[in-house]
Amino acid sequence: MSSEKKLAIKGAFWTIISYGGSQIIRFGSNLILTRLLLPELFGLVGLAYVFIVGVHLFSDIGLRPSIIQNKRGEEPEFLNTVWTMQVIRSFFVWLCLMLITWPVATFYKQPGLLWLIPAISINTLIGGFYSTAISSLNRKMAVKQVVIFELGIQIISTTVMIVWAWFDRSIWAIVAGGFMGSVTELIWSYFLMRGKPNRFAWDREAVKEIFSYGKWIFLSTVLFFLCSQADRLVLAKIFDLRMLGIYGIAFTLGDMPRQVIIALGGRVIFPSISTLADLPREELRAKIIKNRNLILIPLAIGLAIFVSCGDQLILTLYRKEYAAASWMLPILALGIWHTTLHNLMGSCLLAVGKSQYGAMGNLATFLSISIGIPIGYHFMGNLGAVLAVAVGDIPTYLVISYGLWREKLSCFWQDIQLTALFLGVLGILLFCRFHFGHTLPIDRLLPIDWKPGKLF
């Protein structure tokens, strides 16, 4: 077994450990916080983070990926230049957040955003001074160290959040947890540095290479934000804060399978394929297809179980105020299947230097969701809006599939086989559930939930 394959297997193992641990912490804290805080608070924080994350992504020029991909990624001068650009970017992002706070609060008629966005944006300034150590570890596929780092930060941040909420059941608990996480990440990142700490530097050649590599990443990231957050941007004008908070709970749980694929893509597939990018396309495609089955077959079975039983998770563990999330979760989780297919292969296209397909796919999905949600809500109310989200990124799958075909890396036939497996397992599970006297996963859907809505 080659050293690259050993690293990839080890990286995949630790990525799964990271994902499992992270989701346990996230799910556990979610259960506790939903018993301490009202749904409206989750809706308000979720809306604030849409714009905070958005401004971050709108200014993303691929600084961290450039450390992994660039041949100079281990040179101190290159790393220091990246760090300098990161610091400059953090101040730019913070300034943009200050400028958009009032317009956003006015547009959504939420005065609480006037202080919430500035409070959370302090983390942006702190984040600008993180060391480049984590990106360097990702380049070397030292996933174990990265996993320990990320889980440690999550534990500290979550603990602060829960303890604060226990004594003060206000939105400040979430703000304080995020702040402590940022401070911890800043300090810890420098303990992971090998050699001298980052310092200010400006290598013109490095800057040129970063911008050249990052131009499509910038566009793709901007469009990724638009397509991934379009649901919240539109739903925030349709749903009240309570329903937006409930939707956020359902989406967070339903999105878990996609998150593990994103983690595998970024930590394992992207760096692995980057080292094999010079292979003949047929040989590279064969390696991708072989290893893709190892990931997607277990995922297909697991996702089918999740779709068929996810509603019981909500009804058993959450308070009755969140019951509407029980019918949203299976629909959103079902829509994750095609998302995982294109997310996995999007990392392969990025690794061979073809990031434009991801950008075009994200644009198509943004348009699909932005148009689909209002139409769905108009004809089928809340149900129509959620259905529009579930099918919204099918255009991205189509564009990525086209890109793979152009680059002679097509996996379309494999996708058909895996989809048949997924639907077959799901059908069997739903039949068994119904046969043994249980209702279907969307049984809690009420007539009011599919009542046509008025947009204006």
User: How far is the C-alpha of 328 from the C-alpha of 250, rounded, in Å?
Assistant: 6
Tens-digit pLDDT string for the chain (456 aa) = 555 566 666 766 777 777 778 878 988 888 899 888 888 888 899 889 888 988 887 777 777 777 777 777 778 888 889 899 999 999 999 999 999 999 999 998 889 999 999 999 999 999 999 988 888 887 776 778 888 888 999 999 999 999 999 999 899 999 999 999 999 999 998 988 887 888 898 988 888 887 777 666 777 677 777 777 888 888 988 888 888 889 988 998 888 877 777 777 666 666 667 667 677 878 778 877 887 888 889 889 999 999 999 899 888 888 888 889 999 999 999 998 988 888 778 777 777 777 778 778 888 888 999 999 999 999 998 999 999 999 988 988 999 899 889 888 888 899 999 999 999 999 999 999 988 877 888 888 888 787 887 765
Joined tokens for residue 109? 């008629």
CB burial of 118-148 (b: ≥16 within 10 Å; e: otherwise) equals: eebbbbbebbbebbbbbbbbbbebbbeebbb
pLDDT in tens, 259-298: 777 777 666 666 667 667 677 878 778 877 887 888 889 8
The residue ranges of every structural domain in the chain are: 1-202, 223-456
How many helices (DSSP H) and strands (DSSP E) are in the chain? 18, 0
pTM: 0.74
Half-sphere exposure of 217 (CA within 13 A, CB side): 19
User: 31: how many CB neighbours lie within 10 A of its CB?
Assistant: 12
CB of 78 within 8 A of CB of 206? yes
Integer Cα distance of 338 and 394 in angstroms:
7
Distances from the Cα of 83 to the Cα of 134, 274, 304, angstroms: 12, 23, 43
